[in-house]
Chain A
Amino acid sequence: MTTQLRNALLRGKRRPRNFGAGSPTNFRGDGYEFAELRQYVAGDDTRRIDWAATARAGTLQTRVVLEDVALTLAAIIDDSPSMQLGRARPLTAAATEAMTTWYEAALADDRCARITATGLVAPLGMRGFRSALACANARSTGVTLALPRAFDIARAALPRGAALLVVSDFFDLPDDADRMLGELGVLFDCTALFARDPWYDGLPLGGFVRLQDAETGAQRQFFIGRKQRAHYVKSVAQREELLSKRLGDSGWRTGLLHEDDGRQSLLQAFGLR
């Protein structure tokens, strides 16, 4: 499955720019994997002329090969207090599964990076699995990741064409972040997994309840009746739809992070089962 995920990234709409690392794409370019023979045209690299084929055909023949690239897999995983909640387990558990699956796609000369609250984690000199392991184990303690700051770091530090995974509930995504999202969508192959509200199908609350904001610690009392529960379900669905449209319009691939299976959630975002 991770191979399919990697292939999906290689054939994605944003071409990775780390050439010559043993992962052929669909595009013609510099690489090792033979694609076809065609008649020489002016400007072709003379080193690509197939002399045996030229002898057989009587005219100059050029070997066309597939572009050979390596992926840069980057991830932003929201570990804020709001992601520590969940119905059966914290949303961060599913987010970690999604991240692990994401880094498992790293092979050969692929490079991995992770943006945490403390900054960019990009293991120097490491490639493939080792690089993925280092990123997956990266921890930021005591500081909460802010999405806008993480996006700034990504824009400044990641190479063009990198595959960027963002797993978050997107509650701290500013209303005026569309331009930033658009820029990231152009620069990178962006995938957003937004954490589905644990109670998306109905609040298990009734009457007066005292609730605490996981992020700010503020407490408030609410009266939740049947009408409010129905309204809540509708609002959650609307938010998912709006967020999906907003990210989709910015050129992002989107999917829902289900609390029970983060790996499957990521694969579903790529249309893989």
Chain B
Amino acid sequence: MSFTNPALLLVAVLLCLACSFLLRWVQGRKSAQTLAYTNLAFLDAAVAAPVWPGRVLVGALLLSVALLGSALAGPHLTARVPAKDGSVVLCIDTSGSMTSQDVAPTRAEAAKAAARTFISELPAGTKVGVVTFSTAAQLIQPLTPDHQAALDALARIPEPNGATAIGDALALAAQQLPNTGHRAVVLVTDGVNNNGVDPLEVAKFLATKHVPVYTIGIGTNDSGQLIPGTNEAATIDEDALRALADAGGGAYVKAADAQQLKSALAQLGRTTILEKKKIDAAMPFAFAGGLLLIITLFGGMAMGRIP
């Protein structure tokens, strides 16, 4: 949090101190408007009166004064909000290993469903493109702010077949992204690169352009299943994906089942393209302070006194 005029915070402090002294004076002075009682010591023990209502009222009053005083100083809050100029390219693995059924119904189908969720969760206005890759990378949807078009493009994802060219996919994604703005690449794969350029090199290149690479590892290592039509065990190369994410300045998430994959991509959809923004909080501060002051005064009157 920052302030436009931090010096005015002193006013808030002085107001709180003044209120505090005023309350002490009011509570300490002998008032004619008191009721006589035979023995206060007995009453104290007899009613076991709680002290918190008074403290809450005083605390609320001081807080409201502090909020109102702080509003004068022009507070600004820094928040991460979805970037309006955000662009993200989703790279989906369509290699033969994606036919594995360790993630139901298949890795490829689960990835497709999760991609749908990812696109749906993206903030409005964020441009999205879709790249698929197996032996080679293929652009099936150029960057577009039309999320429905991107969702429709998911239907054009080819059937899983061939090798895994992660590096080519990242390179194609890099070509699609603009030179400026908030950009990101999201890679959904089982991670065993066996064709094309070295993905690590491309990820490092992307990092120099301030484009983070988020990797989602789909599949399991200990399912005991084979890739259909081969004698290879269905595994994922987590180390490679983690290295890619580290090199690209992003993050790696493992999804062992369809639900995990869906939630991981949904989370990324909400948070991938974020920018820091300063929000003017003077009005909310003033409103909150005023509201709290009114509640305190009415509460105090309802309870028999203004604190």
Mark A residues whose CB is within 8 Å of B. Answer: 82-83, 85, 169, 171, 197, 203, 205-216, 218-225, 228-229, 231-232, 235-236, 239
- From known contacts A206-B304, A211-B35, infer whether A228 and B49 are also in contact, taking CB-CB under 8 Å: yes
Report whether A211 and B304 are in contact in the complex, using a CB–CB cutoff of 8 Å.
no
**Cα–Cα, bound, A96→B49 (Å):** 34
Mark B residues whose CB is within 8 Å of A. Answer: 27, 30-31, 33-51, 53-54, 300, 302-305
Residue of B nearest to A171 (CB): B39
Report whether B303 and A171 are in contact in the complex, using a CB–CB cutoff of 8 Å.
no
CB distance from B54 to the nearest CB of A (A): 6
Report whether B27 and A221 are in contact in the complex, using a CB–CB cutoff of 8 Å.
yes
**Cα–Cα, bound, A213→B44 (Å):** 11
In the complex, chain B residues whose CB is within 8 Å of the CB of A215: 38-39
Specify which of B39, B50, B54 lies most central, judged by the most chain A CB atoms within 10 Å of its CB. B39
The 6 listed contacts between A and B (C-beta, < 8 Å) are A210-B31, A211-B36, A212-B40, A213-B41, A231-B48, A239-B46
CB distance from B298 to the nearest CB of A (A): 13
CB distance from A174 to the nearest CB of B (A): 13
**Cα–Cα, bound, A207→B38 (Å):** 19
Known pairs A221-B54, A228-B47 / 11 extra A-B pairs, C-beta < 8 Å: A82-B38, A169-B38, A169-B39, A203-B47, A207-B303, A208-B304, A212-B37, A214-B37, A221-B27, A222-B44, A235-B47
Report whether B50 and A223 are in contact in the complex, using a CB–CB cutoff of 8 Å.
yes
In the complex, chain A residues whose CB is within 8 Å of the CB of B302: 207
Report whether A235 and B38 are in contact in the complex, using a CB–CB cutoff of 8 Å.
no
- From known contacts A231-B48, A232-B46, infer whether A223 and B38 are also in contact, taking CB-CB under 8 Å: no
Report whether B35 and A224 are in contact in the complex, using a CB–CB cutoff of 8 Å.
no
**Cα–Cα, bound, A82→B41 (Å):** 13
**Cα–Cα, bound, A211→B4 (Å):** 47
A-B contact count (CB 8 A): 95
* Among B34, B45, B48, B53, contact of A210 (Cβ-Cβ < 8 Å): B34
- From known contacts A208-B304, A221-B54, infer whether A231 and B38 are also in contact, taking CB-CB under 8 Å: no
**Cα–Cα, bound, A242→B142 (Å):** 89
Report whether B305 and A224 are in contact in the complex, using a CB–CB cutoff of 8 Å.
no
Report whether A219 and B47 are in contact in the complex, using a CB–CB cutoff of 8 Å.
no
Q: Report whether over half of chain B's contact residues are helix, strand or loop; otherwise say mixed.
A: mixed
Residue of B nearest to A207 (CB): B304
Residue of B nearest to A238 (CB): B46
In the complex, chain B residues whose CB is within 8 Å of the CB of A171: 38-39, 42
Report whether B43 and A214 are in contact in the complex, using a CB–CB cutoff of 8 Å.
no
* Among B36, B48, B303, contact of A85 (Cβ-Cβ < 8 Å): B36
CB distance from A35 to the nearest CB of B (A): 50
Residue of B nearest to A206 (CB): B304
Residue of B nearest to A197 (CB): B38
Report whether A85 and B38 are in contact in the complex, using a CB–CB cutoff of 8 Å.
yes
Q: What are the 4 closest A-B residue pairs judged by CB atoms, nearest first?
A: A207-B304, A235-B46, A208-B305, A82-B38
In the complex, chain B residues whose CB is within 8 Å of the CB of A220: 40, 44
Residue of A nearest to B31 (CB): A210
* Among A206, A213, A231, A235, contact of B37 (Cβ-Cβ < 8 Å): A213
* Among A82, A85, A231, contact of B47 (Cβ-Cβ < 8 Å): A231
In the complex, chain B residues whose CB is within 8 Å of the CB of A219: 30-31, 34
**Cα–Cα, bound, A216→B304 (Å):** 24
Residue of B nearest to A169 (CB): B38
CB distance from B286 to the nearest CB of A (A): 28
Report whether A214 and B34 are in contact in the complex, using a CB–CB cutoff of 8 Å.
no
**Cα–Cα, bound, A258→B40 (Å):** 21
**Cα–Cα, bound, A209→B45 (Å):** 16
Report whether B53 and A208 are in contact in the complex, using a CB–CB cutoff of 8 Å.
yes
In the complex, chain A residues whose CB is within 8 Å of the CB of B43: 211, 222, 232
In the complex, chain B residues whose CB is within 8 Å of the CB of A228: 47-50
In the complex, chain B residues whose CB is within 8 Å of the CB of A212: 34-37, 40
* Among A203, A223, A239, contact of B303 (Cβ-Cβ < 8 Å): A223
**Cα–Cα, bound, A83→B97 (Å):** 96
In the complex, chain B residues whose CB is within 8 Å of the CB of A224: 47, 49
In the complex, chain B residues whose CB is within 8 Å of the CB of A213: 36-37, 39-41
**Cα–Cα, bound, A208→B51 (Å):** 11
**Cα–Cα, bound, A209→B303 (Å):** 9
In the complex, chain B residues whose CB is within 8 Å of the CB of A235: 42, 45-47
CB distance from B229 to the nearest CB of A (A): 76
In the complex, chain A residues whose CB is within 8 Å of the CB of B48: 228, 231
In the complex, chain A residues whose CB is within 8 Å of the CB of B41: 213
Residue of A nearest to B35 (CB): A211
**Cα–Cα, bound, A171→B43 (Å):** 12
CB distance from A196 to the nearest CB of B (A): 11
